[in-house]
Structure 1
Amino acid sequence: MSDSNTITAVTRDEQGTSASRRLRHAGNVPAILYGAGKDTVKLTLDHNSLYHSLENEAFHSSILNVEVDGKSEKAILRDVQMHPYKLIVMHVDLQRVSATDKIHMSVPFHFTGGDEAPGVKLESGIISHLITELEINCLPDDLPEYIDVDVSGLNIGDSIHITEVNLPKGVESASMAHGGDDLAVVTCIAVRASKADEAEEAGLEAAAEGEAGEEAADEEAGEE
Protein backbone atom coordinates (compact mmCIF):
# COMPACT_ATOMS: atom_id res chain seq x y z
CA MET A 1 0.00 0.00 0.00
CA SER A 2 1.38 3.37 -1.04
CA ASP A 3 2.19 6.13 1.42
CA SER A 4 -0.55 8.25 -0.18
CA ASN A 5 -3.13 5.79 1.20
CA THR A 6 -1.73 5.79 4.72
CA ILE A 7 -3.21 7.86 7.53
CA THR A 8 -1.26 8.43 10.72
CA ALA A 9 -3.45 9.14 13.74
CA VAL A 10 -3.38 9.31 17.51
CA THR A 11 -6.20 8.53 19.88
CA ARG A 12 -7.91 11.31 21.83
CA ASP A 13 -10.00 11.38 24.96
CA GLU A 14 -11.55 14.83 24.71
CA GLN A 15 -14.80 15.27 22.84
CA GLY A 16 -17.38 17.97 22.26
CA THR A 17 -17.47 21.25 20.36
CA SER A 18 -14.86 23.04 22.47
CA ALA A 19 -12.38 20.17 22.25
CA SER A 20 -12.85 19.91 18.48
CA ARG A 21 -12.33 23.65 18.11
CA ARG A 22 -9.06 23.44 20.03
CA LEU A 23 -7.88 20.60 17.81
CA ARG A 24 -8.59 22.60 14.66
CA HIS A 25 -6.83 25.68 16.01
CA ALA A 26 -3.79 23.46 16.59
CA GLY A 27 -3.82 22.30 12.95
CA ASN A 28 -5.53 18.97 13.54
CA VAL A 29 -8.77 17.27 12.53
CA PRO A 30 -11.07 15.27 14.83
CA ALA A 31 -12.02 11.87 13.42
CA ILE A 32 -13.54 8.55 14.41
CA LEU A 33 -12.72 4.96 13.45
CA TYR A 34 -15.58 2.49 13.73
CA GLY A 35 -17.00 -0.79 12.42
CA ALA A 36 -15.96 -4.45 12.02
CA GLY A 37 -17.47 -5.30 15.40
CA LYS A 38 -14.92 -3.24 17.31
CA ASP A 39 -15.32 -0.23 19.57
CA THR A 40 -15.42 3.23 18.05
CA VAL A 41 -12.14 5.07 18.55
CA LYS A 42 -11.78 8.86 18.59
CA LEU A 43 -8.77 10.05 16.60
CA THR A 44 -6.73 13.14 15.85
CA LEU A 45 -5.31 13.63 12.34
CA ASP A 46 -2.90 16.19 10.94
CA HIS A 47 -4.94 18.65 8.89
CA ASN A 48 -2.45 19.54 6.15
CA SER A 49 -1.47 15.95 5.48
CA LEU A 50 -5.12 14.88 5.33
CA TYR A 51 -6.12 17.81 3.13
CA HIS A 52 -3.46 16.96 0.54
CA SER A 53 -4.53 13.31 0.58
CA LEU A 54 -8.15 14.32 -0.03
CA GLU A 55 -7.09 16.10 -3.22
CA ASN A 56 -6.13 12.70 -4.64
CA GLU A 57 -9.17 11.09 -6.28
CA ALA A 58 -7.99 7.56 -5.50
CA PHE A 59 -7.84 8.33 -1.78
CA HIS A 60 -11.66 8.44 -1.70
CA SER A 61 -12.08 4.97 -3.21
CA SER A 62 -9.19 2.99 -1.77
CA ILE A 63 -8.55 0.79 1.22
CA LEU A 64 -6.63 3.00 3.63
CA ASN A 65 -3.95 1.94 6.07
CA VAL A 66 -4.78 3.72 9.33
CA GLU A 67 -1.87 3.72 11.76
CA VAL A 68 -3.14 4.41 15.26
CA ASP A 69 -0.62 4.64 18.09
CA GLY A 70 1.70 2.20 16.34
CA LYS A 71 -1.02 -0.27 15.31
CA SER A 72 -2.36 -0.61 11.77
CA GLU A 73 -5.97 -1.10 10.68
CA LYS A 74 -7.62 -1.22 7.25
CA ALA A 75 -10.44 1.25 6.65
CA ILE A 76 -12.32 3.25 4.04
CA LEU A 77 -13.13 6.93 4.03
CA ARG A 78 -16.83 6.99 4.84
CA ASP A 79 -17.53 10.69 5.38
CA VAL A 80 -15.73 14.04 5.21
CA GLN A 81 -17.18 17.24 6.64
CA MET A 82 -15.77 20.46 5.18
CA HIS A 83 -16.13 24.04 6.41
CA PRO A 84 -18.98 25.80 4.51
CA TYR A 85 -16.68 28.34 2.85
CA LYS A 86 -13.12 27.78 4.07
CA LEU A 87 -10.65 25.14 2.88
CA ILE A 88 -10.78 23.40 6.24
CA VAL A 89 -11.60 19.77 7.00
CA MET A 90 -13.93 19.76 9.99
CA HIS A 91 -14.36 16.04 10.71
CA VAL A 92 -13.68 12.62 9.18
CA ASP A 93 -15.37 9.25 9.59
CA LEU A 94 -13.28 6.13 8.89
CA GLN A 95 -14.92 2.71 8.67
CA ARG A 96 -12.94 -0.46 9.37
CA VAL A 97 -13.16 -3.21 6.77
CA SER A 98 -13.02 -6.97 7.02
CA ALA A 99 -11.46 -9.05 4.26
CA THR A 100 -14.52 -11.33 4.24
CA ASP A 101 -17.28 -8.71 4.29
CA LYS A 102 -18.44 -6.80 1.23
CA ILE A 103 -18.32 -3.03 1.33
CA HIS A 104 -20.51 -0.44 -0.37
CA MET A 105 -18.56 2.35 -2.06
CA SER A 106 -18.87 5.06 -4.67
CA VAL A 107 -16.17 4.74 -7.35
CA PRO A 108 -15.50 7.27 -10.14
CA PHE A 109 -15.74 6.51 -13.84
CA HIS A 110 -12.75 7.25 -16.08
CA PHE A 111 -13.92 7.86 -19.65
CA THR A 112 -11.42 6.98 -22.39
CA GLY A 113 -11.38 7.15 -26.19
CA GLY A 114 -13.54 10.25 -26.54
CA ASP A 115 -11.40 11.81 -29.26
CA GLU A 116 -11.58 8.59 -31.29
CA ALA A 117 -15.37 8.18 -31.16
CA PRO A 118 -16.86 8.40 -34.70
CA GLY A 119 -19.55 10.74 -33.40
CA VAL A 120 -16.84 13.16 -32.28
CA LYS A 121 -14.18 12.61 -34.92
CA LEU A 122 -16.42 12.42 -37.99
CA GLU A 123 -19.68 14.10 -36.95
CA SER A 124 -18.40 16.90 -34.67
CA GLY A 125 -20.47 15.65 -31.75
CA ILE A 126 -19.53 15.73 -28.07
CA ILE A 127 -19.35 13.10 -25.34
CA SER A 128 -21.78 13.87 -22.51
CA HIS A 129 -21.08 12.26 -19.12
CA LEU A 130 -24.46 11.59 -17.50
CA ILE A 131 -23.12 9.68 -14.47
CA THR A 132 -19.61 10.28 -13.15
CA GLU A 133 -19.45 7.61 -10.43
CA LEU A 134 -21.02 4.27 -9.58
CA GLU A 135 -22.21 2.80 -6.29
CA ILE A 136 -20.69 -0.68 -6.05
CA ASN A 137 -20.53 -3.71 -3.76
CA CYS A 138 -17.36 -5.78 -3.46
CA LEU A 139 -14.86 -7.31 -1.07
CA PRO A 140 -12.10 -4.95 0.10
CA ASP A 141 -9.43 -6.70 -1.97
CA ASP A 142 -11.53 -6.21 -5.13
CA LEU A 143 -12.13 -2.47 -4.64
CA PRO A 144 -11.05 -0.55 -7.77
CA GLU A 145 -9.78 3.02 -7.59
CA TYR A 146 -11.86 3.80 -10.67
CA ILE A 147 -13.84 2.10 -13.43
CA ASP A 148 -12.85 2.49 -17.09
CA VAL A 149 -15.55 3.30 -19.64
CA ASP A 150 -14.40 3.09 -23.27
CA VAL A 151 -16.43 5.50 -25.42
CA SER A 152 -14.33 5.15 -28.59
CA GLY A 153 -17.13 3.33 -30.45
CA LEU A 154 -19.90 5.89 -29.94
CA ASN A 155 -21.74 7.51 -32.83
CA ILE A 156 -24.20 10.39 -32.53
CA GLY A 157 -27.16 9.15 -30.47
CA ASP A 158 -25.32 6.16 -28.97
CA SER A 159 -25.20 5.59 -25.21
CA ILE A 160 -23.53 3.23 -22.77
CA HIS A 161 -25.70 1.98 -19.90
CA ILE A 162 -24.69 0.63 -16.50
CA THR A 163 -25.12 -2.99 -17.61
CA GLU A 164 -22.82 -2.35 -20.58
CA VAL A 165 -19.91 -1.14 -18.44
CA ASN A 166 -17.19 -3.75 -17.98
CA LEU A 167 -16.88 -3.99 -14.20
CA PRO A 168 -13.74 -5.48 -12.63
CA LYS A 169 -13.91 -9.04 -11.35
CA GLY A 170 -15.75 -9.29 -8.04
CA VAL A 171 -17.48 -5.91 -8.44
CA GLU A 172 -21.22 -5.42 -8.89
CA SER A 173 -23.41 -2.37 -9.37
CA ALA A 174 -25.28 -1.75 -6.13
CA SER A 175 -28.33 -0.35 -7.91
CA MET A 176 -28.57 -3.16 -10.48
CA ALA A 177 -28.14 -5.76 -7.74
CA HIS A 178 -31.34 -4.40 -6.18
CA GLY A 179 -33.37 -4.12 -9.37
CA GLY A 180 -32.60 -0.49 -10.13
CA ASP A 181 -32.97 1.19 -13.51
CA ASP A 182 -30.32 0.56 -16.14
CA LEU A 183 -29.38 4.22 -16.49
CA ALA A 184 -27.30 5.69 -19.29
CA VAL A 185 -23.79 6.51 -18.11
CA VAL A 186 -22.53 8.40 -21.15
CA THR A 187 -23.87 9.43 -24.55
CA CYS A 188 -22.68 11.09 -27.75
CA ILE A 189 -24.77 14.06 -28.81
CA ALA A 190 -24.83 16.40 -31.77
CA VAL A 191 -23.69 19.95 -31.17
CA ARG A 192 -26.46 22.42 -31.93
CA ALA A 193 -25.22 25.32 -34.02
CA SER A 194 -25.39 28.74 -32.37
CA LYS A 195 -27.63 31.45 -33.81
CA ALA A 196 -24.54 33.31 -34.99
CA ASP A 197 -23.30 30.22 -36.83
CA GLU A 198 -26.74 29.67 -38.36
CA ALA A 199 -26.91 33.30 -39.48
CA GLU A 200 -23.43 33.08 -40.98
CA GLU A 201 -24.32 29.88 -42.81
CA ALA A 202 -27.55 31.45 -44.12
CA GLY A 203 -25.57 34.47 -45.29
CA LEU A 204 -23.08 32.29 -47.13
CA GLU A 205 -25.88 30.36 -48.79
CA ALA A 206 -27.61 33.59 -49.83
CA ALA A 207 -24.35 34.94 -51.21
CA ALA A 208 -23.76 31.73 -53.13
CA GLU A 209 -27.26 31.85 -54.57
CA GLY A 210 -26.74 35.50 -55.53
CA GLU A 211 -23.51 34.69 -57.32
CA ALA A 212 -25.18 31.81 -59.13
CA GLY A 213 -28.00 34.13 -60.21
CA GLU A 214 -25.58 36.73 -61.51
CA GLU A 215 -23.65 34.10 -63.47
CA ALA A 216 -26.89 32.83 -65.02
CA ALA A 217 -27.91 36.38 -65.99
CA ASP A 218 -24.52 37.02 -67.54
CA GLU A 219 -24.79 33.81 -69.55
CA GLU A 220 -28.25 34.78 -70.82
CA ALA A 221 -27.02 38.26 -71.79
CA GLY A 222 -24.10 36.73 -73.66
CA GLU A 223 -26.40 34.44 -75.60
CA GLU A 224 -28.50 37.41 -76.69
Structure 2
Amino acid sequence: MSISSTQMLPFPQDLFAAGTNTSSEAMQWTIAELINHPDVFSKVREEIKDAVGSTRLVGESDVPILPYLQAVVKEALRLHPPVPVIIRECREACKIKNFYIPNKTMVAINVYAIMRDAKIWDCPNDFRPERFLDSSKQKDGMEYIPFGAGRRAVPGSKLALSLVHTTVAAMVQCFDWKVDGKKGDNKVNMQVGPGISMPMAQPFKCLPVVHYNPFASSM
Protein backbone atom coordinates (compact mmCIF):
# COMPACT_ATOMS: atom_id res chain seq x y z
CA MET A 1 0.00 0.00 0.00
CA SER A 2 1.27 3.44 -0.90
CA ILE A 3 -0.01 6.40 1.09
CA SER A 4 0.61 10.12 1.10
CA SER A 5 -0.12 13.03 3.38
CA THR A 6 -2.92 15.44 2.58
CA GLN A 7 -2.23 18.05 -0.05
CA MET A 8 -3.18 21.15 1.93
CA LEU A 9 -0.17 22.76 3.57
CA PRO A 10 -0.55 24.33 7.05
CA PHE A 11 0.08 27.99 7.73
CA PRO A 12 3.45 28.95 9.31
CA GLN A 13 1.77 29.64 12.65
CA ASP A 14 0.26 26.16 12.57
CA LEU A 15 3.70 24.66 12.01
CA PHE A 16 5.13 26.68 14.88
CA ALA A 17 2.28 25.86 17.26
CA ALA A 18 2.32 22.17 16.42
CA GLY A 19 6.08 21.91 16.84
CA THR A 20 6.30 23.74 20.15
CA ASN A 21 3.22 22.17 21.73
CA THR A 22 4.14 18.57 20.92
CA SER A 23 7.75 19.07 22.04
CA SER A 24 6.73 20.58 25.36
CA GLU A 25 4.28 17.74 25.98
CA ALA A 26 6.96 15.17 25.12
CA MET A 27 9.23 16.78 27.74
CA GLN A 28 6.44 16.73 30.32
CA TRP A 29 5.71 13.05 29.79
CA THR A 30 9.42 12.17 29.90
CA ILE A 31 10.06 14.06 33.14
CA ALA A 32 6.85 12.64 34.63
CA GLU A 33 8.00 9.09 33.87
CA LEU A 34 11.41 9.84 35.40
CA ILE A 35 9.82 11.26 38.56
CA ASN A 36 7.63 8.17 38.84
CA HIS A 37 10.67 5.93 38.32
CA PRO A 38 13.40 7.33 40.60
CA ASP A 39 15.76 4.46 39.82
CA VAL A 40 15.72 5.43 36.14
CA PHE A 41 16.11 9.10 37.09
CA SER A 42 19.24 8.23 39.10
CA LYS A 43 20.71 6.22 36.22
CA VAL A 44 20.27 9.15 33.81
CA ARG A 45 21.89 11.55 36.28
CA GLU A 46 24.79 9.19 36.89
CA GLU A 47 25.34 8.72 33.15
CA ILE A 48 25.45 12.49 32.65
CA LYS A 49 27.87 12.90 35.53
CA ASP A 50 30.20 10.20 34.18
CA ALA A 51 30.11 11.46 30.58
CA VAL A 52 29.91 15.22 31.04
CA GLY A 53 31.37 15.76 34.49
CA SER A 54 30.39 18.31 37.10
CA THR A 55 31.84 21.50 35.65
CA ARG A 56 29.41 22.38 32.87
CA LEU A 57 25.85 22.01 31.64
CA VAL A 58 25.09 19.08 29.34
CA GLY A 59 24.95 20.17 25.69
CA GLU A 60 23.62 18.97 22.36
CA SER A 61 26.99 17.51 21.38
CA ASP A 62 26.90 15.29 24.49
CA VAL A 63 23.71 13.44 23.51
CA PRO A 64 25.46 10.80 21.32
CA ILE A 65 27.52 9.68 24.35
CA LEU A 66 24.44 9.39 26.57
CA PRO A 67 22.78 6.16 25.35
CA TYR A 68 20.64 5.69 28.45
CA LEU A 69 19.22 9.21 28.13
CA GLN A 70 18.38 8.44 24.50
CA ALA A 71 16.68 5.20 25.57
CA VAL A 72 14.62 7.08 28.16
CA VAL A 73 13.38 9.59 25.57
CA LYS A 74 12.62 6.81 23.08
CA GLU A 75 10.62 4.91 25.67
CA ALA A 76 8.69 8.02 26.72
CA LEU A 77 7.83 8.73 23.07
CA ARG A 78 6.75 5.12 22.61
CA LEU A 79 4.31 5.34 25.50
CA HIS A 80 3.27 8.94 24.86
CA PRO A 81 3.60 9.74 21.13
CA PRO A 82 3.13 13.47 20.38
CA VAL A 83 0.56 12.61 17.68
CA PRO A 84 -1.23 9.33 18.57
CA VAL A 85 -3.11 9.07 15.26
CA ILE A 86 -1.67 9.95 11.84
CA ILE A 87 -3.94 10.66 8.86
CA ARG A 88 -2.78 9.63 5.39
CA GLU A 89 -4.36 9.19 1.94
CA CYS A 90 -3.98 5.96 -0.03
CA ARG A 91 -2.28 6.57 -3.36
CA GLU A 92 -3.46 3.25 -4.80
CA ALA A 93 -6.12 0.65 -4.07
CA CYS A 94 -5.03 -2.12 -1.75
CA LYS A 95 -6.25 -4.90 0.51
CA ILE A 96 -5.27 -5.28 4.17
CA LYS A 97 -6.36 -8.66 5.50
CA ASN A 98 -10.06 -8.79 4.54
CA PHE A 99 -10.51 -5.07 4.06
CA TYR A 100 -10.45 -3.51 0.59
CA ILE A 101 -9.29 0.12 0.62
CA PRO A 102 -9.99 2.14 -2.56
CA ASN A 103 -7.59 4.68 -4.00
CA LYS A 104 -7.63 8.14 -2.32
CA THR A 105 -9.22 6.79 0.85
CA MET A 106 -8.26 8.65 4.02
CA VAL A 107 -6.66 6.24 6.48
CA ALA A 108 -6.11 6.78 10.21
CA ILE A 109 -2.97 5.06 11.48
CA ASN A 110 -3.16 4.39 15.23
CA VAL A 111 0.42 5.10 16.27
CA TYR A 112 -0.48 4.79 19.96
CA ALA A 113 -1.86 1.26 19.52
CA ILE A 114 1.05 0.10 17.37
CA MET A 115 3.63 1.14 19.97
CA ARG A 116 1.68 -0.55 22.78
CA ASP A 117 0.92 -3.75 20.88
CA ALA A 118 1.67 -6.78 23.06
CA LYS A 119 2.47 -8.80 19.92
CA ILE A 120 5.38 -6.45 19.23
CA TRP A 121 6.53 -5.20 22.63
CA ASP A 122 7.24 -7.03 25.88
CA CYS A 123 5.21 -5.55 28.76
CA PRO A 124 4.01 -2.81 26.38
CA ASN A 125 2.49 -0.54 29.04
CA ASP A 126 5.56 -0.53 31.30
CA PHE A 127 8.21 2.18 31.22
CA ARG A 128 11.38 0.20 30.43
CA PRO A 129 14.10 2.26 28.70
CA GLU A 130 16.42 -0.75 28.76
CA ARG A 131 14.45 -2.28 25.89
CA PHE A 132 16.17 0.22 23.57
CA LEU A 133 19.67 -0.68 24.76
CA ASP A 134 19.55 -4.25 23.44
CA SER A 135 20.59 -4.03 19.78
CA SER A 136 19.36 -7.57 19.15
CA LYS A 137 15.79 -6.45 19.95
CA GLN A 138 15.70 -3.23 17.95
CA LYS A 139 12.45 -2.65 16.11
CA ASP A 140 12.16 -1.71 12.47
CA GLY A 141 10.77 1.60 11.24
CA MET A 142 7.12 0.48 11.18
CA GLU A 143 7.02 -0.72 14.80
CA TYR A 144 8.46 2.39 16.43
CA ILE A 145 6.89 5.43 14.74
CA PRO A 146 6.41 8.35 17.16
CA PHE A 147 7.07 10.73 14.26
CA GLY A 148 5.62 8.61 11.49
CA ALA A 149 7.87 6.84 8.99
CA GLY A 150 9.29 7.06 5.50
CA ARG A 151 9.42 10.16 3.32
CA ARG A 152 6.39 11.69 5.03
CA ALA A 153 7.64 11.43 8.59
CA VAL A 154 7.54 14.60 10.69
CA PRO A 155 10.15 16.92 9.08
CA GLY A 156 11.08 18.54 12.38
CA SER A 157 11.70 15.29 14.27
CA LYS A 158 15.47 15.77 14.55
CA LEU A 159 15.07 19.29 15.90
CA ALA A 160 12.41 18.11 18.33
CA LEU A 161 14.57 15.23 19.56
CA SER A 162 17.55 17.54 20.05
CA LEU A 163 15.40 19.91 22.08
CA VAL A 164 13.84 17.15 24.18
CA HIS A 165 17.17 15.40 24.88
CA THR A 166 19.02 18.52 26.00
CA THR A 167 16.13 19.92 28.03
CA VAL A 168 15.41 16.66 29.84
CA ALA A 169 19.13 16.16 30.48
CA ALA A 170 19.45 19.64 32.01
CA MET A 171 16.35 19.10 34.17
CA VAL A 172 17.82 15.87 35.51
CA GLN A 173 21.33 17.23 35.88
CA CYS A 174 20.37 20.41 37.71
CA PHE A 175 17.24 19.67 39.73
CA ASP A 176 15.46 17.29 42.04
CA TRP A 177 11.68 17.36 41.68
CA LYS A 178 8.82 17.32 44.17
CA VAL A 179 5.33 16.68 42.88
CA ASP A 180 3.02 19.62 43.66
CA GLY A 181 5.78 20.99 45.89
CA LYS A 182 5.08 18.32 48.51
CA LYS A 183 7.51 16.11 50.31
CA GLY A 184 7.27 12.36 50.37
CA ASP A 185 6.75 9.61 47.79
CA ASN A 186 4.37 11.43 45.43
CA LYS A 187 3.61 10.29 41.91
CA VAL A 188 2.66 12.27 38.84
CA ASN A 189 -0.86 11.62 37.56
CA MET A 190 -0.31 9.90 34.20
CA GLN A 191 -3.91 10.10 33.02
CA VAL A 192 -4.26 11.31 29.44
CA GLY A 193 -6.53 14.27 28.72
CA PRO A 194 -8.57 15.10 25.62
CA GLY A 195 -6.78 16.49 22.58
CA ILE A 196 -5.00 15.49 19.39
CA SER A 197 -1.51 15.58 20.96
CA MET A 198 -2.07 13.51 24.14
CA PRO A 199 -1.87 16.24 26.79
CA MET A 200 -1.93 15.38 30.49
CA ALA A 201 -5.38 15.30 32.07
CA GLN A 202 -4.15 17.16 35.14
CA PRO A 203 -1.77 20.16 35.14
CA PHE A 204 1.80 19.00 35.63
CA LYS A 205 2.93 20.86 38.75
CA CYS A 206 6.35 20.12 40.25
CA LEU A 207 8.71 22.07 42.46
CA PRO A 208 12.34 22.11 41.24
CA VAL A 209 14.99 21.92 43.95
CA VAL A 210 18.50 22.88 42.87
CA HIS A 211 20.83 19.90 42.79
CA TYR A 212 23.63 21.34 40.67
CA ASN A 213 24.23 24.88 39.45
CA PRO A 214 26.48 24.84 36.35
CA PHE A 215 26.80 28.62 36.45
CA ALA A 216 27.95 28.91 40.06
CA SER A 217 31.63 29.04 39.12
CA SER A 218 31.05 31.96 36.74
CA MET A 219 29.05 34.07 39.17
User: What interval of TM-score do these two structures reach, taking the shorter chain for normalisation?
Assistant: under 0.3
Q: Structure 1 length as normaliser, TM-score?
A: 0.19
Higher relative contact order (CA 8 A, sep 6+): 2
Q: Structure 2 length as normaliser, TM-score?
A: 0.19
In terms of Rg, which structure is larger? 1
Per residue, is there more helix in 1 or in 2? Answer: 2
Per residue, is there more strand in 1 or in 2? Answer: 1
